[in-house]
Amino acid sequence: MTRTSPSAADTDPGAHDPDGDPVAADPVVAEQPYVSMLYGKLDERRTETAALLARVLRDETTGTPQAVSERDAAAQMYSEQLATLSAVEQGLCFGRLDLDPDRPPPPPIDGDPGPIEGLDQDVLYVGRLGLLDDQHDYEPLLVDWRAPAARPYYTATAASPDGVRRRRHIRSRSRRVTAVDDEILDLEEAARVGATATQRTGLTGEAVLLAALSAGRTGRMGDIVATIQGEQDRVIRSSANGVVVVEGGPGTGKTAVALHRAAYLLYTHRRQLARRGVLVVGPNPTFLRYIEQVLPSLGETSVLLSTVGELYPGLAAHRSEPPAAAALKGHLDMGKMLATAVRDRQELPRRPIRLHVDGEPVVIDRDVVNQARTRARRTRRPHNDAKRTFVREVVDQLARREVDRVGRDPLDSREGGGNLLDRGDLADVRAGLRADPDLRAVLDELWPTLTPPQLLADLWTNPQRLRAATRGWSEADRELLARSGGRPDDLLDGAWWSPADAVLLDEVAELLGEDDTAAREAEERKREADEAYAAGVLEILAMEEDWDPELLRPTDVVDASVLADRTREATYASAAERAADDRTWTFGHVIVDEAQELSPMAWRVLMRRCPSRSMTLVGDVAQTGARGGASSWAEVLSPYVAARWRREVLTVNYRTPAEIMAVAADVLAAIDPGATPPESVRESGVAPVAVAADEPGLVEAAVAQARRAREAVVDAEGAGRVAVLAPGARVDGLAAALGVAAGPTGAAEGDPAVDLASEIVVSEVADAKGLEFDAVVLVDPAGVVDASPRGLNDLYVALTRATRSLVVVHPDVLPPVLGRLIG
């Protein structure tokens, strides 16, 4: 077996044995020159790209708008390339495939196959991006992990080697190769080198995988590009078309797979997806912070991460509200209720309204308004758009009445007889009416132009309006929606709105039609802030003493407004950024994580954002905590795609050790006796325990356990994080006793996320959804179960957050479902 790339052989002469086989020598030493050569190439590309960027930025394009936008597009492109080249620094090359020269060609892959790099080579190095050899016919030196040729790195097994004779995992730190693990998939090759061609566990690269899994947690999710497993790879590379639901128990890598799928799709369908962007939806801001580094570390920056509540532009809704209120707001009945609320704003006058227009009396009575309203409603256009028809109809009727009255021919006494005024006069009367401010004010009262926050805030704070829109509802439901204290001064104040409200704002926006007042106001505020900042920058520059009096100062050529514009042009270019500011933006692909938590109303928002229905939904209905969340995927999806969705299942738990999973499996059986728990990939050797502590000593016991767990984690792994998970009512007390902020309620003002950097995190279970910690101290499991109708699901989530150890601190008796903890 020889490497066909002459360039590789050139850079790696000492590492090859006389047969040209580079693995005969100490593989760590043998691989170093090649890996160093790759880093050299990476450096070259960085230098070239930085030079191109600098040239573009220096380009004084003050000419046509087209030239400016071309310059900005080029600057954006080079900036993104530079970001990608920096992101791949750690572990640039992590694998090598030695292929059978007589292997069959790889099977065709769905959609645009992307660049087919390396298909004809017998030795392939696999890494975080593709690098080509510009000295030798652009042969691939490193194959991007997403390229078709790299696929066998993740999927080949001894039973189905896909032409792979040997798979080598290369571990490195700071550009030095630190370890090499080989898997021999070819029986003859195995015999030749004295290895066994087996895969004991069915895992790919078991040693590397287990090393990755047992490392201390940092509070941020990392990428898994070097150790993606076969079943995960299948999901990552599955077709972009249609809806795919990825199911799997806790820790099966659903989140990791979803994010790597985003990176894969962007690579494979770059042209389409870079333009429309990819949206990744997570359940809460803490979760988004937990995952936010994964895609940038894969060199992908054009993805918008958001909660559904943050999709309404200009609003970061974070008011917490009772779960029952959130559930009600998520119910589909809200759609009808909001439609009624909008219709209720199209009013009829109680008694005739009398005005004088150009000195002539005008009467706006119920009949006139009713007819105009019916016509406007019949257009089936949204409220704000239909207003044009309403105004035109009222004005038209009033004008005709006026013409009838004023122009009647006194000499023609027949019924409906002649009129002395002509069409031109009618048009003049119409124009006079339309321009009259008093009439306009009356019409604005009867059919007001509304923004979604205006309508919804009025509805929540005005009991009459709420009652009118919810005829037939229970008083208890109305109370869940009602707010006292009037509308907020700032209608986009995130502290006033809950995430469930934000979803409804989107629905209201659909009913009202595009009135972009709010967006324009937000834009204006952003502009003012940018200008204030730019003015500050210029002020500092102006204070500079050493300016040569012969030269122009920056303030001579640019003012704050121009500087602000320039900065904004440069920073506001990717699809993701545009999408974040545009409520009607539709994405090329939408990925929803913890999808089981979304309410039916939230699904409506997401489906509007993805008319192509190219979606990946990952979730686990056994972990549904939200009262309005999903119990079955068919139920969620049938209104949008009927039965046309595919299901993929992940079965291996990479997070929770077997000892803890056994306890969690009992809870799963209580939730759904037919469900199969995922199989843990490893044991931690630390048995989960229960500690009884009656009130008032419960907090003290929990604190002691948390501190002990922290010490044990530090002893075992050098660093790591502990979570204290408890029912909401206990969180503040526990956080105070531990001297840490309770998240997210105790997080910094305006920051709705839990502080993930903290060594000990205290949180209720809902906020820990999707996260993981080295050790978990679960306090008051019965309280968790009792706190919600889906309490058992919450318990299941809490038990499956730990990668190493679990302690359950409980008052009274332990819930029977945790009986295994006491043997």
Q: Which residues bind ligand ATP (CB under 6 A)?
A: 209, 212-213, 221, 224, 227-229, 232, 248, 250-256, 620, 623, 654-655, 770, 772, 800
Question: Residue 210 Cβ, how far from ligand ATP at the closest point, in Å?
Answer: 9
Beta strands in 292-396 (DSSP E): 303-306, 353-357, 360-364
Question: Residue 661 Cβ, how far from ligand ATP at the closest point, in Å?
Answer: 11
Helix, strand or coil for residue 313? coil
End-to-end CA distance of the chain: 56
In DSSP notation, 163-183 reads: TEEEEEEEEEETTEEEEEEEE
State which residue, 261 or 383, has the beta carbon closest to ligand ATP. Answer: 261
> Who's near 172: CB < 8 A, 6+ residues apart?
35, 91, 92, 93, 94, 178
State which residue, 157 or 470, has the beta carbon closest to ligand ATP. Answer: 157
State which residue, 573 or 802, has the beta carbon closest to ligand ATP. Answer: 802
State which residue, 452 or 619, has the beta carbon closest to ligand ATP. Answer: 619
Question: Residue 50 Cβ, how far from ligand ATP at the closest point, in Å?
Answer: 32
State which residue, 152 or 770, has the beta carbon closest to ligand ATP. Answer: 770
**The 3-state secondary structure of 647-701, one letter per residue:** EEEECEECCCCHHHHHHHHHHHHHHCCCCCCCEECCCCCCCCEEEECCCCCHHHH
Give the C-alpha separation, 163 to 238, whole Å: 21
CA distances, 495 to each of 249, 489, 491, 747, 791 (Å): 34, 12, 10, 13, 27
Q: Is there a contact between 29 and 51 (Cβ–Cβ < 8 Å)?
A: no
Residue 113 CB neighbour total at 10 angstroms: 13
Helix, strand or coil for residue 363? strand
Is 248 known as a binding-site position?
yes
Q: Which residue is nearest to ligand ATP (CB)?
A: 253
State which residue, 281 or 364, has the beta carbon closest to ligand ATP. Answer: 281
State which residue, 139 or 620, has the beta carbon closest to ligand ATP. Answer: 620
State which residue, 535 or 716, has the beta carbon closest to ligand ATP. Answer: 716
State which residue, 384 or 596, has the beta carbon closest to ligand ATP. Answer: 596
Residue 442 CB neighbour total at 10 angstroms: 18
Give bridge partners of residue 93 from the DSSP assignment.
127
Question: Residue 818 Cβ, how far from ligand ATP at the closest point, in Å?
Answer: 19
Give the C-alpha separation, 678 to 680, whole Å: 6
* Radius of gyration of the chain from its Cα atoms, rounded to whole angstroms: 33
Is 204 known as a binding-site position?
no
Question: Residue 595 Cβ, how far from ligand ATP at the closest point, in Å?
Answer: 11
Burial 360-383 (b: 16+ CB within 10 A, else e): eebebeeebbeebbebbeeeeebb
Angle (CA) 588-589-592 rounded to 5° is 150
Angle (CA) 33-38-42 rounded to 5° is 145
Q: Which amino acid is at 151?
A: R
Is 253 known as a binding-site position?
yes
Q: Is there a contact between 11 and 153 (Cβ–Cβ < 8 Å)?
A: no
From the list 226, 212, 292, 211, the residue with the least C-alpha distance to 259 is 292
Is 255 known as a binding-site position?
yes
State which residue, 121 or 252, has the beta carbon closest to ligand ATP. Answer: 252
Question: Residue 487 Cβ, how far from ligand ATP at the closest point, in Å?
Answer: 38
Is 685 known as a binding-site position?
no
Question: Residue 621 Cβ, how far from ligand ATP at the closest point, in Å?
Answer: 11
State which residue, 284 or 623, has the beta carbon closest to ligand ATP. Answer: 623
Question: Residue 158 Cβ, how far from ligand ATP at the closest point, in Å?
Answer: 19
Question: Residue 106 Cβ, how far from ligand ATP at the closest point, in Å?
Answer: 22
From the list 640, 691, 645, the residue with the least C-alpha distance to 821 is 691
Q: In what order do the strands lie in the sheet with 164-173?
A: 131-133, 139-144, 123-127, 93-99, 164-173, 176-184
Q: Is there a contact between 752 and 288 (Cβ–Cβ < 8 Å)?
A: no
Is 252 known as a binding-site position?
yes
Q: Which amino acid is at 274?
A: A
Question: Residue 506 Cβ, how far from ligand ATP at the closest point, in Å?
Answer: 26
Question: Residue 668 Cβ, how far from ligand ATP at the closest point, in Å?
Answer: 12
Binding residues: 248-255
Binding residues for ATP: 248-255
